[in-house]
A = this chain, B = another copy of it.
Amino acid sequence: MFCNILGKIFTISCFGESHGKVIGCIIGGCPSNIKLSNIDVQIEVNKRKPGISKYITSRKENDKIKILSGIFNKKTTGAPIAIIIKNNDKKSRDYDNIKNIFRPGHADYTYWNKYKNIDFRGGGHSSGRLTANIVSASSITKKYLFKNYGIVFKGYVKQIGKNKILFESWDLINFKLNIANIKKKNIIKKYIKYINKIGDSCGANINLIIKNLPIGIGNPIFDKLNSRISYYLMNINAIKAINIGNGIKGIKYKGSKFNDIITKKGFKTNNSGGILGGISTGQDIKISIFIKPTSSIKIPQKSINKFNKKVKFIIKGRHDTCIGIRILSVAESMLSLVIMDFILNFNSYKI
């Protein structure tokens, strides 16, 4: 519960600003002897990289990662692993016109009131760019959890704006849109192009799944699996709501329908989302997240500035029309950090 650190046994400490020299993180409590190369980390980071498609921001970061410590003979040593990512493609001048303005939907207003000194360029420390650290750290956790437990983190975009996108198959995932429905591809493309053209933005709903999580992960009363998942995910900027299993729809069910019947072959349904009493059931963990429309839009907006004067302004810079698409990889990565910490805690009780 620290302002820039996540985790209890497996920790990640972050720093950085959107337009600073670098952003980075330190990973503590990491098991030794995990093979880890720059390429392993780079592959993960590339998944959220901006500038890879027309539908997301055209800011072109190479997002070149660099491991500064914790590796010897190409394997982790148990010592902290520091990973940094350079910020090359900074157009700080894009922000000159808004440096004293509180952009609606952004953290400018709250940061200013809290700290009275903020790096306004590209959102500074509050920028979504810092989630690249989460993704870089996940190169370790995803690898470790898959190799040792077969645990996998997956997800797909389920709705963009008002457009529901039926899940058809994991095989059909479109990596530019992260949807699992081939027929909807063009409709969604067109929709995003349209929203982009009018200078606006749109929200999204994403489904996330953790597969092969053993039974027994999580804790009773406090630090429940669902609590910690929510805690980690809610730290991703644009996520405004979290749903476990059939939580939202389920309030309309009767108990006799919502209760998942247990048979000798396992559970018949999964309304619980794979968590009962804060502890994993061995089923798929099912989470749904709701992502607000990107705050940065190109339409002229009104606001006030630090001197409490009315202002009218336009946000320049390059921004995702639907940030939800790109958040998928961050959310999957976050989940891998949660599970890593829980798995290590779970193992504590082995003799």
Which one of B16, B257, B280 lies within 8 Å of A69 (CB-CB)?
A: B16
Which chain B residues border A15 with CB–CB below 8 Å?
26, 68-70, 79-82
Distance in Å: Cβ of A48 to nearest Cβ of chain B: 16
- The chain B residue with its CB closest to the CB of A77 is B117
B222 touching A14, Cβ below 8 Å: yes
- B residues within 8 A CB of A242? 230, 241-242
What chain B residues lie within 8 Å of A146 (beta carbons)? none
Contact of A240 among B195, B247, B256, B292 (CB under 8 A): B247
Q: How long is the Cα–Cα vector from A61 to B173 in the complex, in angstroms?
A: 52
Q: Smallest Cβ distance from A128 to chain B, in angstroms?
A: 10
Interface contact B290-A221, CB-CB below 8 Å: no
Whether A80 and B125, one on each chain, are in contact in the complex, defined by CB atoms closer than 8 angstroms, is yes
* Nearest neighbor of A349 in chain B, beta-carbon distance: B31
Give the residues in chain B near A21, CB-CB below 8 Å: 68-69
Contact indicator A76/B117 (Cβ below 8 Å): yes
Cβ distance A66 to chain B, nearest Cβ, rounded Å? 8
A159 within 8 Å of B (CB atoms): yes
CB atoms of B297 and A215 under 8 A apart: no
Would you call A223 an interface residue if the criterion is a C-beta within 8 Å of the partner chain's C-beta atoms? Answer: yes
- A contact residues, range: 35 or more
The answer to whether B227 touches A297, judged by C-beta atoms less than 8 angstroms apart, is: no
Tell me which of A51-59, A182-190, A259-267 binds B: A259-267
A34 to chain B, nearest CB (A): 10
**A288-302 near B? 1/0 per residue, CB < 8 Å:** 001111111101011
Cross-chain contact A254 with B69 (CB below 8 angstroms): no
Flag if B293 contacts A222 (CB, 8 Å).
no
Q: Identify the closest chain B residue to A291 (Cβ).
A: B251
A304 interface contact, C-beta 8 A: yes
With a cutoff of 8 Å between Cβ atoms, the chain B residues found around residue A221 in the complex are 3-4, 14, 80, 125-126, 130, 235
- Given contacts A15-B80, A69-B17, A263-B310, whether A216 and B114 have CB atoms under 8 Å apart is yes
At the interface, yes or no: A38 with Cβ under 8 Å from chain B?
A: no
Can you identify 14 A-B contacts, CB atoms within 8 angstroms? A3-B28, A4-B26, A14-B26, A105-B272, A106-B276, A110-B277, A161-B252, A162-B252, A226-B240, A239-B247, A248-B290, A258-B292, A259-B295, A264-B304
Residues of A near any B CB (own CB < 8 A): 1-9, 11, 13-17, 20-24, 26, 28-29, 31-33, 68-70, 72-73, 75-82, 84, 102, 104-107, 109-111, 113-119, 124-126, 130, 148, 159, 161-162, 195, 200-205, 215-216, 218-224, 226-228, 230-232, 234-235, 237, 239-248, 250-264, 271-273, 275-282, 290-297, 299, 301-304, 308, 310, 324, 344-345, 347-351
Closest 9 CB pairs of A and B: A107-B277, A240-B247, A203-B251, A201-B255, A241-B247, A79-B125, A13-B13, A104-B259, A110-B279
Not counting A3-B29, A14-B222, A113-B282, a sample of 8 additional A-B residue pairs whose C-beta atoms are within 8 angstroms of each other reads A13-B28, A14-B80, A79-B119, A105-B259, A110-B216, A111-B277, A200-B255, A347-B349
